[in-house]
Amino acid sequence: MAELFTVGEFAKLTHLSVKTLHHYHEAGLLEPASVDPVTGYRRYSADQLAAAQLARRLRDVRMPLAQVRDVLSAPDPAAREAGIAAHLDRLRQDLAGTAAAVASLQALLVAGPPTASAVLRDAAATACVLLSDDVGRDAIGPWCAQAYPRLFGAAGKLGVPPSGAGGALYSGGWFEDGGGTVTAYLPLDLDPGAVATAAAVPGRVTVGVLPAQRLAVLEHRGPFDDLDLTYARLGRHVLRHGTGTDGPLREVYLISPADTDDPTALLTEVCWPVKENA
């Protein structure tokens, strides 16, 4: 007859627990070859051993169940291997992130927080190309990576050279809420008063003016993961003196990931808006 195994037997054969097999059934990931309509008994076929073996290995490399399901039901081997390769790539990025986090931890233990001092600056109104989006905390890196090329492209099409480093505004409760509206900008060598006459820009990039603002500024050198140390130094004093405003926080990327592959070489200005009479 057909080679059918009970859950318990199939569990022994695959080293997946019975509970896990139940879960995979319910998740539509590994459906038994047949289910007895009266008793509900699951029966697995020998043909399903290979799928179970693959599923176990995909879970061992932390692939989410939904993706495992997609891989197992892939229409052809090429699609299957593409799904696996994509996940292994995410795994590599994750690993790099963990290594960076270990380095950040050890740097904090060895060196302690940085000790530079903030300066006040009156930022003038500035014509810019702008790109705004609702971005979560964990998506900010990739979002910026696609935003600035688009802004540079837009500036090029306008025929107006950038007049300085790109930056971004983090509005409202971006850090408190784990995300929100981010506006990436690139300053243009253009009279702010002339902006209304600028040509429309393709995509969602727009041309606008950053308003004049008084800012407390502190330079941050090193990876973005350590920006909290600089925010603490800068914001602590601004808040202590009660001079902070609820305007968006601003970052200026003087040396950005586009300029260097060395995270310790990154240079970022952190700008906290303060009252005019500060």
User: Binding residues for DNA, per CB under 7 A?
Assistant: 6-9, 17-20, 22-24, 38-42, 59, 64-66, 136, 172-173, 176-179, 246
Residue 64, binding choice from DNA, a second copy, none, Cβ under 5 to 8 Å by partner class: DNA
From the list 31-39, 212-220, 232-240, 260-268, the region that binds a second copy by CB under 8 A is 232-240
**200-214 residues labelled b (16+ CB within 10 A) or e (exposed):** ebeeebebbbbeebb
Please provide residue 170's backbone torsions phi and psi, each rounded to the nearest 5 degrees: -110, 105
From the list 28-36, 83-91, 183-191, 200-208, the region that binds a second copy by CB under 8 A is 83-91
Binding residues for a second copy restricted to 52-81, rule: CB under 8 A = 53-54, 56-58, 60-62, 81
Residue 171, binding choice from DNA, a second copy, none, Cβ under 5 to 8 Å by partner class: none
Is residue 249 within the footprint of a second copy (CB under 8 A)?
Answer: yes
Residue 124, binding choice from a second copy, DNA, none, Cβ under 5 to 8 Å by partner class: none
Neighbour count for residue 96 (Cβ, 10 Å): 10
Least distance from C-beta 97 to a second copy, angstroms?
8
Query: 65-72 and 49-60 are packed helices; what angle lies between their axes, rounded to 10 degrees?
Result: 140
Is residue 232 within the footprint of a second copy (CB under 8 A)?
Answer: yes
What are the beta bridge partners of residue 252?
167, 269
Please provide residue 186's backbone torsions phi and psi, each rounded to the nearest 5 degrees: -135, 115
From the list 48-56, 157-165, 186-194, 260-268, the region that binds a second copy by CB under 8 A is 48-56
In angstroms, how far is CA 262 from the centroid of its own chain? 19
Residue 84, binding choice from DNA, a second copy, none, Cβ under 5 to 8 Å by partner class: a second copy
Among 9, 133, 189, 259, binds a second copy (CB under 8 A): 9
Task: For tokens 């002339």, name the residue.
Answer: 194
Q: Whose Cβ is closer to DNA: residue 136's or residue 149's?
A: 136
Q: What is the largest CA-CA distance in the chain?
A: 88
Least distance from C-beta 55 to DNA, angstroms?
8
Least distance from C-beta 101 to DNA, angstroms?
13
* Sheet with 179-187, side-by-side order of all strands: 119-123, 213-221, 267-273, 249-255, 167-170, 179-187, 126-136, 206-210
Please provide residue 107's backbone torsions phi and psi, each rounded to the nearest 5 degrees: -65, -40
Residues 143-182: x where in contact with a second copy by CB under 8 A, - otherwise, as a string = ------------------------------x-xxxx----
Least distance from C-beta 61 to a second copy, angstroms?
5
Closest to 56 measured CA to CA, from 78, 33, 42, 72: 72
Please provide residue 198's backbone torsions phi and psi, each rounded to the nearest 5 degrees: -70, 150
